[in-house]
Amino acid sequence: MAILPPSEGWFQQKVAKDEKIWMGLAFVVSVFLFFWMIIWHVYAKQNPSFTTYRTTPEEFYALTEAFINKYKVGEENGVPVVKPPPGSDVFLLARQFRWEPVVILKKGEEYRFHISSLDVLHGFSLQPVNMNFMVYPKYDYVLTFRPTSAGEYAIVCNEFCGIGHHMMIGKIIVEE
Amino acid sequence: MAVAIEGGEKWFRTCDVTGFRVDVRAEKIAKLNAVMAVVSFLIAVIAALLLVLTRWQLFHVLPVDWYYRVLTLHGLDALVFWIIFFELAALVFGSTAFLNTRMSSPAVGWLGTILAIVGWLLVNYTILTGNADVLMTSYAPLKAHPLFYLGMILFAVGALLIVMVFFANLMIWRRENPGQSLPLFVYGLMAAAIIAVITIASGAIIYIPTFLWSLGIISDIDPAVYKLVWWGLGHPSQQINVAAHVSVWYLLAFLTVGGTSINEKVSRFAFILYIIAINVASAHHLLVDPAVSPVWKVWNTSYVMYLAVFASMIHAFAVPSAIEVAQRRRGFTKGLFEWLKAAPWGNPAFSGLMLSMIIFGFIGGITGVVNGMEQTNIIVHNTLSIPGHFKGAVVGGTALAFMSVTYYLIPLLFRKKIAFYGVSKFVPWLFGIGIAILAVSMYILGAFGIPRRHWDITFSGGPFTYTFNPVTDFFWALFGIGGLLAVLGALIWIIQVVVSVFFGQPFRGPQDLQIPIAEPPPAPDKEHEGFAAPGTFALVLLFITAFVIFVALNYGWLSAMWEVK
Amino acid sequence: MSEERKTPGLQLFFDDFMLLLFLGVAVYAVSYLIWGLIEIAWLPPIPDEIKQALLGR
């Protein structure tokens, strides 16, 4: 009875057969899920990274500016467009309410993205592949991407960052 | 009315329905907290209506600033105030009436309640006056007015005082009843109270420096530290709900069909697993964040190897099997499911209990595990799938369980007859089905990448644009219909409660009882061998199959994404 | 309830809500909070070679 103290000897009562089987099954599934995440880290290709660097908005801004100047190939709607070589470090800056720069990548090549913010928290949401990561000020999140499909991709901000949050959209272009 | 008790203990009445001795001083505090809960729920539901009609961009009723303002209001009133006030009422009432014991300190109870109410006022006021457009999470360095943080601190301190009174009441009971074990319902509340201590302490740790920062006394709040500690408040506050609503499930199983956990040790063991392991799942909110490493993430997000998921699955068997065994003893033994068919479905507390369990398990629970696994979080984080998940867990699970048990609280705690009792039997269905449709459509919209907390997914004014898959239009319509149904169900329930409590006819005794309280079932003829609850066993097998398939599908989908490491 | 009958130790643990309170707080504080804060505090700065490649200093 849920409303009265349990009857004497409740602690010695045997567990019914079906409850015992169920608990065994539930426990095995639970432990399996835990090890599954570790196995996925070892063998599969989609995992959050181990690398974060400490930075400052000033330092990260300077690095992004230098990165843009080095690899700039044009401008689109006021946003610089860069085309870094495969294997390079890519700097992506989030600020209220825009992403900089637009990046052109090559399909199947690896790029080390450094993502940080100048002001508040932002959300990096790559569409339509639907991969989502958080962006902090003062922390440089390093994510090594290998695009496996070509086309135009949007970077939607999906962490509330202020009144212009819905205008914050960037772009990644993947070439064959 | 209340019957005076012999022996001169002037602050007790004896309940003429349950026979419990009720400390009237505790009862008053519990009532005020329950009223605050319903008021918060009303604000949250009105806000929800506006939000549904804004996100469904066919209507888009709110302008951008009011959208985020109302979203902040909705988040805090629904996820914090409504449920925590309700839980405070349950803690005060549960630790006195259910233990036949007295309130250790009514003064501290009142102080806590008043502080919580002042905090609630400050928070709601700063939000509505446009001084706290920071959403529920108020991630630094977004900054709100200092009174907003002060309100959160006062609310937390008030709640903590009542949790301390709860433990003091338990100690009085322990001294007066040496060697006894707590009733299971109170045991579950005890688990909720322990989780509440962790929650509230984390809230204080983070809101106090943030308050000083908003005043300009501290120059800087680190965004990673803020988010880490804040989720020590944000997530465990929802785990208080899990422990509390599972306790309410056990209570309702007893009240509606006379069901008792078939093994108290197993049920208590599951609550202990909650106490130890459930709180670290605050890590669910940091899985795709910089700063903390995947080692920390995997260990904490899994509730220390999924011990809390294991615990929930134990309850998932224990509560329905309590119902099944009671029904079978009454003679409903045919086949696997006669016990279920013959159950009192016309009793709103029973239908509410069943819907709460189904929605919590199949929608809230399964999606919660996928969201909370480190890698699959990549494809759901901050999409609409996240609120879709917690609509299933907190609204379909917790809120519906609390709404259902309220049909007993109106006569037994407030001593009023339930107004418009005839409509009660529709309320759980209307609300439950509405929330189920809402939650599932949000989860699917999230799978198409649609962000949560977003005023305009056509990105008007942005340098680029993006068009989501047009199939989403269909799910937005479903989202709207589900949301409207749920709002309607909630409003009917609120009207019933308000009319009953403030304008209702007095409840004079057992003859006025509208909602039935089940007689305990007859004792078993002989010792039972083999399966105690085969019907429940079949249901939980169905559950685990759905669970494993859903996890596998999500990992399969994830493997089709870009590579990232 | 007879005074003589010995309650199993594990049952005493189940019933000891203050011990459970301590355990709940301790596991959370160590596993989530302290470990998390240590990891945040120990993050390295951006390596010099990355900075030099772009800034040329």
Nearest in space to B285 (alpha carbons), one of B296, B307, B301: B301
- Kindly state whether residues A169 and A107 are assigned to the same domain: yes
B363's tokens: 């929608």
For residue B183, give the nearest of A3, A36, A46 by CB distance.
A3
Given an 8 Å threshold on Cβ–Cβ distance, is A11 in contact with C43?
Answer: no
Number of structural domains in chain A: 2
Give a yes or no: residue A136 inside a domain: yes
Interface test with B, best of C12, C17, C27 (most B CBs within 10 A): C17
In a domain, A3, yes or no: no
A56–B contact, CB cutoff 8 A: no
**Does residue A7 lie within any of the structural domains?**
no
What digits encode the pLDDT tens for the residues A82-122? 999 999 999 999 999 999 999 999 999 999 999 999 999 99
> Where in the sequence is the domain holding A86, given as residue range(s)?
52-175
Q: Beta strand pairing status for A72-76 and A79-82? A: antiparallel
- Same domain, residue pair A73 and A108: yes
Does residue A164 share a domain with residue A118? yes
Which residues are registered as beta bridge partners of B563? A146
Sheet holding A72-76, edge to edge: A72-76, A79-82, A102-106, A169-175, A151-157, A122-127, A131-135
pLDDT score recorded for residue B7: 41
Sign of dihedral through CA atoms B388, B391, B393, B396? negative
- A70 and A134 fall within a common domain: yes
Encode pLDDT of B378-389 as tens digits. 999 999 999 999
**Is A31 inside any structural domain?**
yes
Q: Which of A3, A16, A141 sits opposite B262 (nearest CB)?
A: A16
Evaluate whether residue A11 is within a structural domain: no
Residue B511 makes CB contacts below 8 A (sequence gap 6+) with none
- Cis before A97 (ω within 30): yes
Q: Which residue of C has its CA nearest to B281?
A: C32
Chain B neighbours among A 71-110 (CB < 8 Å)? 76-79, 97-98
B128 has pLDDT over 70: yes
| pLDDT for residue B2 is more than 60 | no
Confidence check: pLDDT of B524 > 90 = no
Cβ of C45 within 8 Å of Cβ of A54? The answer is yes
Q: A91 with A63: CB under 8 angstroms? A: yes
Q: Is A42 on the interface with B (CB under 8 A)?
A: no
Report the interhelical angle of B223-234 vs B236-257 (nearest 10°).
Answer: 10
B285, B289, B294, B298: CA torsion to nearest 10: 10
Does residue B470 sit at the A interface (CB-CB below 8 Å)? no
Residue type (1 letter), B199: T
A33 shares its domain with A69: no
Whether residues A36 and A74 share a domain: the answer is no
A1 pLDDT more than 80 = no
| Mean confidence (pLDDT) of chain B | 95
* Residue A122 sits in the same domain as residue A157: yes
Per-residue CA distances from B209 to A33, B150, B198, B226, B273 (Å):
37, 11, 18, 10, 32
- Band (B1; pLDDT cuts 50, 70, 90): very low
Within 10 angstroms of residue B516's Cβ, the number of other Cβ atoms is 14
| pLDDT tens sequence across B451-492 | 999 999 999 999 999 999 999 999 999 999 999 999 999 999
CA-CA-CA-CA dihedral for B498, B151, C35, B228, to nearest 10? 80
Q: Does B184 touch chain A (CB under 8 A)?
A: yes
Question: Percent of chain B at pLDDT above 90?
Answer: 93
What are the distances in angstroms from CA B186 to CA A70, B25, B312, B402, B452?
Answer: 66, 19, 18, 15, 37
> Which pLDDT value is given to residue B529?
73
Domain shared by A73 and A158, yes or no: yes
Mark whether A75 and A106 lie in a shared domain: yes
A63 and A115 inside one domain: yes
CATH number of residue A67's parent domain: 2.60.40.420
pLDDT digits (tens, 9 = 90+) for B293-325: 999 999 999 998 899 999 999 999 999 999 999
Position B5 scores a pLDDT of 45
| Token code pair at residue B549 | 């398939």
Give B51-62 as a 3 state SS string.
Answer: HHHHHCCCCCCC
Q: Is residue A10 part of a domain?
A: no
Q: Coil, strand or helix: which one is B532?
A: coil
